[in-house]
Amino acid sequence: MLILDKPAGLAVHRGPRGGASLEDWLPALRQGKRHLPQPAHRLDADTAGCLALGRTKPAIAALNRLFAEGAARKTYWAVLVAAPPGDSGVCEAPLLKVSSAAAGWRMMVDAAGQSARTEWRVLGRAGALTAVELMPRTGRTHQLRAHMAHLGCPILGDARYGGGAGAMHLLARALVLPGIAAVQAPVPPHMREALARCGIS
C-alpha cells in the first residue's frame, strides 16, 4: 500500500474535461509491481492530504473493505468563514445530488438523499474565521463541504458552497488504517496563514 500527501489542485481521477490527474503519475508509482496502484477512496481535486492506494489486488481489496466497513478513520482540518454553532457537535443531514444547466451540480441537504454524518470540533478562532477538525462517519460526495455550508459556516475558498474565492482550506489531515498505518499530512502552504491566525501552528 501507499499513502500519499496529495497536493491541492490535483484531481484523483481524470475528468471529462481532461487536465492533469493522479492517474498520470500511477505508472511512476508502480515500483516493480504488475498492476498500477489504485486509490481506495477519493479526495476532491482542491482538497490536500492523505490518500491511500493499493499496490496489489489483495491490498486494493483489503483497503476497499476497510473503507466500506467504516473501519478506516479519516480526520480533516478546515478553516470556515463563519463560526459553527458551538465548540463541537454533529451534523447528521442526508445529502442529495442536484444539478441545473445554469449552476452545474452540487450536494444539497434533502430528506430524499443518502444519510450522512459529520462530527466536528473547533480548534481555534480569529474573528469570523474558525479552524475546525472534521470527522466524517460516512463517505458521501462533498459531505464536509455541504455539511459545513448547511451549518452556515462554509469552508474558506469553497466558492461552490458559499465560502468565497481562492484556494479551498480543506486538508485530509490524518488517516488511520487499523493494524496497518496511522499517518498525518502536513499543512499545505495555502492554509498556513489562516490556521496561524486561528492559533494553529
All cell numbers assigned to 122: 473547533
C-alpha Rg value of the chain to the nearest Å:
17
The C-alpha atoms of residue 196 and residue 124 are separated, in whole angstroms, by 9
Q: Known catalytic residues?
A: 44
User: What pLDDT is stored for residue 32 in this prediction?
Assistant: 84
Assess contact for 77 and 60: CB atoms under 8 A.
Answer: no
Contacts of 23 (CB under 8 A, 6+ apart): 12, 13, 14
Enter the pTM of the model: 0.92
User: What pLDDT is stored for residue 98 in this prediction?
Assistant: 93
Contacts of 1 (CB under 8 A, 6+ apart): 52, 53, 54, 55, 59, 63, 177, 180, 181
User: What pLDDT is stored for residue 97 in this prediction?
Assistant: 93
Q: Mind giving me the DSSP string for 125-157?
A: EETTEEEEEEEESS--TTHHHHHHHHTT-PBTT
User: What pLDDT is stored for residue 168 in this prediction?
Assistant: 97
The C-alpha atoms of residue 75 and residue 176 are separated, in whole angstroms, by 9
CATH code, domain with 49 = 3.30.2350.10
Contacts of 188 (CB under 8 A, 6+ apart): 7, 8, 48, 49, 171
What pLDDT tens digit does each residue of the chain (201 aa) get?
999 999 999 999 887 767 889 999 999 998 888 889 999 998 999 999 999 999 998 999 999 999 988 899 999 999 999 999 999 999 999 999 998 777 788 999 999 999 999 999 999 999 989 999 999 999 899 999 999 999 999 999 999 999 999 999 999 999 999 989 999 999 999 999 999 999 997
CB atoms within 10 A of CB 89: 14
Calculate the alpha carbon distances from 101 to 62, 98, 104, 106 in Å.
Answer: 39, 11, 6, 12
Q: Choose among 201, 47, 190, 46: nearest CA to 124.
A: 201
All cell numbers assigned to 93: 443531514
- Measured in whole angstroms, how far is the alpha carbon of residue 121 from the centre of its chain? 16
CA angle 117, 75, 107 (to 5 degrees): 40
Q: How many independent structural domains does the chain possess?
A: 1
The 3 state secondary structure assigned to 87-116 is CEEEEECCEEEEEECCCEEEEEECCCCECC
User: What pLDDT is stored for residue 52 in this prediction?
Assistant: 95
User: What pLDDT is stored for residue 101 in this prediction?
Assistant: 73
Range of the domain at 104: 2-197
